[in-house]
Amino acid sequence: MTVEAAGVSTVATTPALAVRGLHVTFPSPRGDVHALRGATLDVQPGEIMGLVGESGSGKSVLGLAALGLLPKPEQLRMSGSVTLDGEDMLSATEQQRRARRGSYITAIFQDPMASLNPSMRIGAQLAEAAPEADQEQIVALLADTGIPEPRAKVGCYPHELSGGLRQRVMIAIALARNPRLVVADEPTTALDVTIQARVLELLARCTAEHGSSLLLITHDLGVAAQLCDRISVAYAGRIVEVGPTARVLSRPRHPYTVGLLASRPRLHGRVAHGKLPVLPGQPPDPRSPAGGCAFAPRCPVADDACARPTPVSLIDGRRCECHHAGACAAWPENGSSQTHADALLRAVQGDIASAQHNAARPPAQTVPVLALEVRELVCEFAAPRRRIRGRPGAPLRAVGGVSLAVPAGGSLAIVGESGSGKTTLLRMIVGLQRPTSGRVLLGAGAGAQLIFQDAGASLTPWMSIGAQIEERLARLALGRAERATRVLEALHAVGLPSEAAGALPRSLSGGMRQRAAIARAIAVPPTLLACDEPVSALDVSLASQVLNLLCELRAKLGLALLFVTHDLAAARAVADEVVVMSGGLVVERGPAERLFAAPQHPYTQELLAAVPDIARAA
Amino acid sequence: MASETVEIGVGSPPAPATSARRPARLSLGRRRPVVALTAGGSLRGALAPVGLVTLIVLALPLLATHSATAVTAAGPFHTPSWSYPFGTDDVGRDVFSRVLFGMRESWLSALGVIAVGATFGAVVGALAGAFGGWLDMVLMRVTDLFLALPAPVIAIAVVASVGPSLFHTLLALSVVWWPWYARIVRGEVRAHAARPHADAARLAGVGRARLVLRHLLPGALAPVVVTMSLDVGNLILALAALSFIGLGAPPPSPELGAMSAQGMEYLLAYWWVPIAPAAAAALLALVANLLGDRANRHLDQERTR
């Protein structure tokens, strides 16, 4: 079952990092978690290697293993080897590992606020990382990362810097001793897209200047495509494909890579309108790994052979673990997309019937009016007083006079970076935040519902999914049996099984929780379905499923969609019309296709340019 | 934060209040909040040992060889022996039997004070947390006031005005014990009110009572249970202390603290008379603290799993 280790490396030089057949298993009372199941990977000196995978693929565990930061050996089982400069990190003593960290291998983590010491000045933390450097060299290190006024920033505490600057400090610390390898685990995931672009560029430039290799761990193929010399793809604890970036992206050999590339919403080409190709199903449970190919249940070219351990194919510098490497040239357009049509139609008919029963509203599709009209909406927050008896400062204007309209059954996306006021605007529209001035007019029907970014937190933890959906039906004067049926219809409409009704939120996976939250919101189909970053917390393969689901529900139930996101490609995949917000104001609006093809406002142009795009790399 | 939603909309029909008022009984996954929490085995697992110990303590007097108050044939100050394991006291009563009865009384008294305190505190905390504003202010200042009252002084005041009895001591303790629970429940309710699931419930148009009872209050259950289980030991000691200074049931009722106090003068000559009840109180407190720690760890694990 383990991969043949010999002859994997195709380059003659000693790799900066060589991982061979690495197994890492965390024992747990509910079944051992197989985080890595024979991962094999090389990072050559001076190269930028991207490690792409979804959550649970084991990519972060691999990074920690390279750093020698995994928990003590008593708490997990390991086999295989992680060789750093000729020395095995797995068998090394803690002292040996500590000696390697800092001088030979360093790390940059996702949350710079958590990895910087909040009680130490920036300069002191840099001095700790580079003990021999004097004050001038420390300032120079900071200046190298493009931090403005580095001399003044040396005396700052981490909380005084913005997220982008903190991550630059982390980069300065990581590169202070010219390490041979930097492990960057999701270094830009917490940053806005324009800042992300600058930090990535900096990361590439600095590692090149210091002659370091970079292992860039990310869930975002786009980020990897923009930066990396080679890309490796992790799935269910194994590295299923490794190769030069351009070739992996243009002609992927593993079906998972093909599906991952296909299911990404794009900024160019045909607008998906709810027909994004999807990877069906869910990533496998790391507690019960498959004997053969772990991807087989979701793979369009799988056959009986896939139940056997996967062979490794090495063709022109590329490594692929698949029985049918290269057999899946293009992901089937809709072949394996999940269909909810039957359940959905029944739910719709039920709604129309109940609507006629109540004689309250005609079917939403035929109403030629607006689902939402927002007029000059303003939201101001009182500024904190500087002194106890001082006068309050000028109020903070989160939203400064926004007007927009969504036709019944239409879809509008609001895009912007953090602090643009898009979420405050959404909360005012659904009625969770009182506007300072302006009006929100909702069309006739069942009002507005909101899908939250964190689906898990938006479900009451101690109520079953069924009970939470049923709560929404209280106004419909239905009998108990009717309500039960409606709950099941709502669940089926979002592709959840009937058993989900009795489940508590914590027993569902992230993707299923977001579906449950959607089911709850559409149990009584609202006039307007507002979504606050509904897919940003989901993995790529699940995000495209949810985007398609939202589009399908919009078409079938005649909902209007209001979609707030920082992800321009996701906005393009679902919206007819797009509004770009910055600093609480609308800076540009227009039909999705026009706006993304020919942005007029400089801010929109900057946003679009910052989005890492695969097409450019491939 | 504003706890009510803004009424907006041009044509949204007003909710028919009649059907919304009665919380829907569930036919699917029918679970009351308390049961829903126990479903994962978390609360049941945390509280089962407490229940077991309570049963054991309730059954302790079955082991008693004599009545708690009757004078035995052995006479006063009989040394510990097989028929009188802890000897007899100054009047000739069997110390062992009196200790067993005293343990039962201590344990049940502690549970009673906690139950009263937690219930009253939960009501106050839930009201304060749910309504906020001036009601929250008034209730929490009253809570602070009661927190500032020293338990022994209250107990002395109560006993001085209405006469010594176990019930009066428990009443006095309950008066100073509820504010902690009010604070915990208020804090949890307010924390849950700021979370997305409370926003989601508001968007569902649920009434305030249902919002609090179904979506906010169950969140306070686990921390309250942890506090309750850690409190049992404290209360056993507090009760023993009050009883030691004479603020409990009047003699000859078997109270651990009072027995110890009465036996103090014989400490050097007949040590078993004061030591046996004191050791029993210490043992009970120790068992209670171990149980509390266990419940705490158990619920913590369940939550961070």
Highest-confidence segment of A81-85, A219-223, A612-616, B102-106? B102-106
pLDDT of residue A50: 94
d(Cα A216, Cα A229) in Å, to the nearest integer?
11
- What pLDDT does A559 receive? 86
Longest CA span, chain B: 90
Q: Tell me how close the Cα of B192 comes to any Cα of chain A, in angstroms.
A: 9
- In chain A, what residues touch B31 (CB-CB under 8 Å)? 463-464, 467
Closest CA relative to residue B185, chosen from B120, B106, B253: B120
Give the distance from residue A509's alpha carbon to the nearest chain B alpha carbon, in angstroms: 14
* Upper half-sphere CA count for residue A338 (Cβ side, 13 Å): 22
Q: Residue A1: what pLDDT?
A: 36
pLDDT of B164 reads 80
Q: What pLDDT digit, counting tens, does each position of B43-79 carry? A: 777 788 888 999 999 998 888 888 888 888 878 888 8
Residue with the bigger pLDDT between A21 and A191: it is A21
Contacts of B9 in chain A (CB under 8 A): 440-442, 447
Average pLDDT over residues B79-107: 88
pLDDT above 90 for A344: no
Best probe of the A interface among B203, B210, B224, B298, by most A CBs < 10 A, is B203
**CB atoms A458 and B33 under 8 Å:** no
For the segment A523-554, what is each residue's pLDDT rounded down to a tens digit?
A: 888 889 999 988 887 888 788 888 888 888 88
Give the residue-averaged pLDDT of A371-381.
Answer: 89
Nearest to A327, CA basis, from A276, A251, A263, A261: A251
Residue A393 in this model has a pLDDT that exceeds 80 = no
Q: How confident is the model at residue A600 (pLDDT cuts 50, 70, 90)?
A: very high
Judging contacts by C-beta atoms under 8 Å, the chain A residues touching residue B196 are: 452, 454, 457-458
Query: Across residues A121-145, what is the average pLDDT?
Result: 88
Q: Work out the average pLDDT over A370-398.
A: 79
**Do B28 and A464 make contact, defined as CB atoms within 8 angstroms?**
yes
Residue A468: which residues within 8 A CB-CB, separation 6 or more?
A459, A460, A516, A520
**Angle, nearest 10°, between helix axes B95-131 and B166-193?**
30
From A442, A470, A504, residue closest to B12, measured CB to CB: A442
- What is the reported pLDDT for A146? 83
Share of chain A above pLDDT 90, in %: 23
Q: Which of A357, A434, A471 to mutate to test the interface with B (most CBs of B within 10 A)?
A: A471
Query: Which one is predicted more confidently, B178 or A31?
Result: B178
Residues in chain A within 8 Å Cβ distance of B10: 441-444
pLDDT tens-digit readout, B28-49 = 333 344 444 443 456 777 788 8
Question: How many A/B residue pairs have CB atoms within 8 Å?
Answer: 129
Per-residue pLDDT at B26 exceeds 70: no
Sign of CA dihedral B139, B140, B142, B143: positive
Res. A239 pLDDT band, cuts 50 70 90: very high
Say if residues B53 and B291 touch (Cβ distance below 8 Å). Answer: yes
Cα of A155 to nearest chain B Cα, Å:
36
β strands within A437-571, DSSP E: 437-442, 448-451, 528-532, 560-565
pLDDT at A10 over 50: no
Provide the pLDDT for residue B33. Answer: 42
CA dihedral defined by B96, B100, B102, B107, rounded to 10 degrees?
A: 150
Q: How many CB atoms are closer than 10 A to CB B190?
A: 18
The pLDDT value given to residue A238: 92
Q: Do B205 and A475 touch (CB under 8 A)?
A: yes
Per residue in B187-245, pLDDT (tens digit) is 999 999 989 999 999 888 888 888 998 999 988 988 898 888 888 999 999 889 888 88
Q: Residue A467: which of B20, B31, B197 has the nearest Cβ?
A: B31
Cβ B230 vs Cβ B50: under 8 Å: no
Q: What is the mean pLDDT of residues A88-108?
A: 85
Cβ-based neighbours of A515, under 8 Å, separated by 6 or more: A494, A495, A496, A546, A549
Distance CA A303, CA A328 (A): 13
Query: What amino acid is encoded at A484 in this protein?
Result: A
A539 φψ region: left (φ > 0), alpha (ψ -120 to 50), beta (else)? beta
Token pair for residue A307? 């139940």
pLDDT computed for residue B107 by the predictor: 93
In Å, how far is A501's CA from the nearest CA of chain B?
A: 6
Query: Is the bond into B16 cis (omega within 30 degrees of 0)?
Result: no
pLDDT classification of B175: cutoffs 50, 70, 90: confident
CA B33 to chain A, closest CA, distance in angstroms equals 6
**Out of A442, A480, A520, closest to residue B9 by CB:** A442
Q: With bands split at pLDDT 50, 70 and 90, how would you rate the model's confidence at B283?
A: very high
Record: contact B36-A464, CB cut-off 8 A? yes
- The more confident residue out of B177 and B164 is B177
Q: What pLDDT is attached to residue B21? A: 33
Provide, as residue numbers in chain A, all residues whose Cβ is less than 8 Å from the Cβ of B304.
none
Q: Would the pLDDT of B305 be above 50?
A: no
A444 CB neighbours in chain B (<8 A) are 10-12
DSSP 8-state secondary structure symbol assigned to residue B13: P
pLDDT value at A494 more than 50: yes
- Statement: residue A290 has pLDDT above 80: no
Give me the pLDDT at residue A388, please: 65
- Shortest alpha-carbon distance between residue B128 and chain A (Å): 21
Chain B residues with CB-CB distance to A354 below 8 A: none
Nearest residue, CB atoms, A467 vs list B10, B16, B29: B29
